[in-house]
Amino acid sequence: MSIINDNRRLLFLFFCLFILYLSITRATFIAQRVYPFPYRQIISSEARLNGLDPLLVVAVAYVESSFAEKALSTKGARGLMQIMPETGSWAAEQLGLEGFTVGHLFEPRVNIVIGAWYLHNLLEQYNGNVHLALAAYNSGPNHVNLWLQKGIWDGRLETLQSIPFPETRNFVLKVERVYQRYRWIYRETDYCLKY
């Protein structure tokens, strides 16, 4: 009788472990549908070229456009990573992209190349402070520099409410949250870079 009970317990334990395994893998499957990773090859390549975590780049694109290639904001930002025409033209010149026109910002590859390079540029400008770089990505470096000079905001997530622009506050917070979700969902892939 004891052997039968032991076998039942063992069978029950295996069944519970199997159910746990299915729920974990299914949860990841569902999470990847809610937080997809389109343009994975381009994003990963450009992120690594610029020393960025690809998941930060994909989080910016998710928040900026929900991956809509033809996204156009009311202020004129274009494409997946919502690049302003002036920023796109300047970045294209810095990158040596010959024949660039503002219309190219609707092409995913060009938009990601410029967006990743620009994010890298901002991270360098703000000594790797992701929150300052994200704020500058959204509102422009001139505003962020002014906030820093006047002591309005110190660049920390904990003092985000000090940012005078609600849109920028929300953008930084959304990207931070989405980035953390992407890091959890894609934690076992080779798309994360270790800093």
Q: How far apart are the C-alpha atoms of 115 and 105, rounded to whole Å?
A: 10
Q: How far apart are the C-alpha atoms of 142 and 54, rounded to whole Å?
A: 26
Query: What residues contact 56, with CB distance under 8 A and at least 6 apart?
Result: 47, 119, 130, 175, 179
Q: How far apart are the C-alpha atoms of 81 and 66, rounded to whole Å?
A: 9
Residue 64 bears catalytic tag: yes
The three-state (H, E, C) secondary structure of 125-144, written as one string: HCCCCHHHHHHHHHHCHHHH
Residue whose pair of structure tokens reads 């009788």 in the numeric block: 1
Nearest 5°: the CA angle 111, 112, 113 is 95
Relative orientation angle of helices 130-139 and 108-125, to the nearest 10 degrees: 120
Q: Which of 46, 64, 86, 176 is catalytic?
A: 64
Catalytic residues: 64
